[in-house]
Amino acid sequence: MRVRWPLMLPLLTLLAQPAAAQERVDEARYEPKFRDPVIEELRDKDEAWQEQQDEETGAVRKRQKARRERERKEEESLKSSLPEAERPTSLDPFKPIWHHPPVAQFMTGTCWSFAATSMLESEAARLGGKRVKLSEMHTVYYEYLEKALRFVRERGDSLVSQGSQANAVLRVWKRYGAVPHEAYAGVVTKDRRHDHQRLSRELRQVLDMIKREGIWDEPTAMGLVAVVLNRHLGAPPQEFRWQGRRYTPQKFLKKVLKVNPDEYVNVMSTSKKPFHQRGEFEVPDNWWHDKSYHNVPLDEFYAALKQGISGGYGITVAIDVSEPGKDGANDVMFIPSFDIPASHINQAAREYRIAHQVTTDDHGVHLIGHATHAGKDWFLVKDSGRSSRRGKHKGYYFMREDYVRLKTLGFMVHRDAVKPLLAKIK
């Protein structure tokens, strides 16, 4: 076929045009983004305003912080002291049971673990002759896990905090065993001081997220919790070597410590519950609502405690420590007469303070000895709290009988120490 020339003219014309004229207008390219001057001015104005507000707020916060620090330094608390002749000044008369030297809990709310672990160290020595420094944080790690697990199962309606009860150590030991301190210190910082401030904040944030997002799948939720615990405490060992042999925590508890958690009992004294029956110790730190506490009248409570410590048994006690008679500078705990005369301390006076939360479950300590001084019963206390390091005897307190009667809420001891009392329990 022959192509006609008139039809080819447009094509020849296009081919004859310069290259620039052949470029397409829809070609993809980059160019500076357009910024509207007015909008930019308004944006800069707002940023400058925000910076000014932040600067002013920062100045306000700085003043507020300085005021709070000043108030903290100027803060006072009501205190009382005893004349030297009326208080013990030496540990010697107490003939304390064997125990490891006091250790500090530092910035944690884990006194319950320090007190009960100390007592069980003494028990291991009494029962089997093994003097082993045990890990407090091994128990604390798993107690955090148990609290978080209950939080998940209760869909967020369960307390998760640093506090607990002494018998939580027995419950954790039954499931997870125990380990020596050398196998697990539970602290990852260079200064080796326990500080759970960040751990608590991060754990709270994780649990809040779990609740907010409805992450009730246990493996997933507990995996998130474990990340926080491992970061701040380190992962506990599943096996470890001690004195040339390998142990699991459960095997170490059974073969080395020879402590049977089922042989320990808890005693309380409150008229809110029927006496000589078991019941729940109704304090927040009994977060799992343990109802195995033996409830007895105050006179029996005190007599059993005294009998136990006099018989060479270590005892953990839950006490109120926000009292003017807790005198750290002189290592004593007593009830000043301006509070209530000792002769007036009875079940009703005790219950009045419990009911009105004047007596609360503040702290756990380990009783390790008993003596008589100036006609009064005194008990030697091993304490992991900071105030016990103020006085001459670092890590110890002398607690007078009136403080025990009025401010001790409960105690834990081996059942053999309180057989007559247990015989009365229905």
Ordered domains of the chain (ranges, CATH): 85-422 (3.90.70.10)
Pairwise CA distance, residues 256 & 136, whole Å: 17
For Cα atoms 260, 264, 266, give the angle at the middle one, nearest 5 degrees.
155
Residue pair 186/106 in contact (Cβ under 8 Å)? The answer is no
The whole model's pTM is what?
0.88
CA 250 and chain centroid, separation: 23
Across the range 268-292, mean pLDDT stands at 97
Residue pair 153/210 in contact (Cβ under 8 Å)? The answer is no
Across the range 207-219, mean pLDDT stands at 97
Q: What percent of the chain has pLDDT over 90?
A: 92
pLDDT of residue 24: 61
For helices 136-153 and 197-213, give the axis angle rounded to 10 degrees: 20
Query: Checking phi first, is residue 275 left (phi over 0); if not, alpha (psi -120 to 50) or beta?
Result: beta
Residue 49 pLDDT greater than 70, yes or no = yes
Residue pair 318/408 in contact (Cβ under 8 Å)? The answer is yes
Q: Residue 170 phi/psi, 5° resolution?
A: -65, -45
Confidence of residue 19 (pLDDT cuts 50, 70, 90): low
391-to-118, 317, 416 alpha-carbon distances in Å:
21, 21, 34
Report, in angstroms and rounded to the nearest whole number, the Rg of the chain calculated over CA atoms: 33
Residue 289 pLDDT greater than 70, yes or no = yes
Confidence of residue 3 (pLDDT cuts 50, 70, 90): very low
Neighbours of 56 (CB within 10 A): 10
Question: Going by C-beta distance under 8 Å and a sequence separation of 6 or more, which residues neighbour residue 392?
Answer: 89, 331
pLDDT of residue 27: 85
Helix, strand or coil for residue 318?
Answer: strand
Confidence of residue 23 (pLDDT cuts 50, 70, 90): low
Neighbours of 155 (CB within 10 A): 11
Paired tokens of 407: 């401010």
Helices (H), 16-36: none
Pairwise CA distance, residues 338 & 350, whole Å: 16
Paired tokens of 319: 């006490």
Helix, strand or coil for residue 281?
Answer: coil
Which residue did the predictor score with more confidence, 17 or 241? 241
Confidence of residue 11 (pLDDT cuts 50, 70, 90): very low
50-to-55, 62, 79, 226, 351 alpha-carbon distances in Å:
8, 18, 48, 40, 56
Neighbours of 62 (CB within 10 A): 10
Paired tokens of 325: 């008679």
pLDDT of residue 16: 52
Tell me the one-letter amino acid at 245.
Answer: R
Pairwise CA distance, residues 203 & 148, whole Å: 9
Report DSSP state, residue 341: -
Pairwise CA distance, residues 48 & 92, whole Å: 70
